[in-house]
Amino acid sequence: MCGRFTLHAPPQEIREAFALFREPELAPRFNIAPSQPVAVVRFDENRTPREWDLVRWGLIPSWAKDTKIGYRMINARGETVASKPSFRAAFKRRRCLIPTDGFYEWEKRDSGPKQPWYMTLPDGEPFAFAGLWEVWTGPDGGVIESCTIITTEANEEMARLHDRMPVILDPDDYDVWLDPSVEDADRLQPLLIPFQGSLRFTPVSTTVNSPRHDSPECIRPLPQQGDLFG
């Protein structure tokens, strides 16, 4: 799964990584949590390169009667996303990139609290989760845009922590993923695979456990913990 992540790269670096039309106006984030605003990159037929926006993390289907459903929709399983009622419409027409430069997972220990780990690319560069976005209109006419992160089976590295991981898209696949004219699941499903590259795993303190903490302290490395890779 994916329940916390970061995006603290400089705006110019984010713009270049995702070929954005404009430089994002984003404060550095070190502990992005469900229900909070997150940046998404999506197709805009009137602008090239791509556009970015802020939406709520936790997808609210257009047919939902209560926005609280979004708390259960922070992730969507890649294996069923094309058919599950909550996600299938968005999978066909409202796909997005969710920019990040790292995400967290917690290691279960035989005793004591879980150990948080922070995963990044080896070079620390921004990358993208595969995401979906949706529009919900309330009885009073208020509109909420929301998103979810697609997950898949963990690769060999990640399986030492968890049996699932977020789908990390290859930059060469960004255009296909974002193109709303591509509705064929046979073209899209092969993109929803475990990450083929390598990740850097860094043990961090339990500061990240609370979403109230959002500072560089969340990603500050600790001495190597245990024998996760040893």
| Residue range 101-111: mean pLDDT, rounded | 94
SS3 content of the chain, % helix, strand, coil (to 5): 20, 35, 45
- CA separation (Å) from 222 to 118, 204, 207? 11, 5, 12
Known catalytic residue: 147?
Answer: no
Domains in the chain: ranges and CATH: 5-219 (3.90.1680.10)
**137, 177 contact by CB (below 8 A):** no
- 105, 134, 145, 157: which is the annotated catalytic residue? 105
| pLDDT at res. 230 | 47
- 2, 96, 147, 218: which is the annotated catalytic residue? 2
pLDDT value at 152 more than 80: yes
Q: How confident is the model at residue 227 (pLDDT cuts 50, 70, 90)?
A: low
What percentage of the chain carries pLDDT values higher than 90?
Answer: 90
Decide: helix, strand or coil at residue 118. strand
Tokens of 12: 């110019």
At 19-75, the pLDDT tens digits run 999 999 999 999 999 999 999 999 987 777 799 999 999 999 999 999 999 999 999
What percentage of the chain carries pLDDT values higher than 70?
Answer: 97
What is the model's pTM? 0.95
Q: How confident is the model at residue 226 (pLDDT cuts 50, 70, 90)?
A: low
Give the containing element (helix H, strand E) for 176.
helix 174-178
Rounded-to-integer distance, Cα 161 and Cα 104, Å: 10
pLDDT value at 225 more than 70: no
Known catalytic residue: 2?
Answer: yes
- CA separation (Å) from 20 to 101, 127, 189? 16, 14, 25
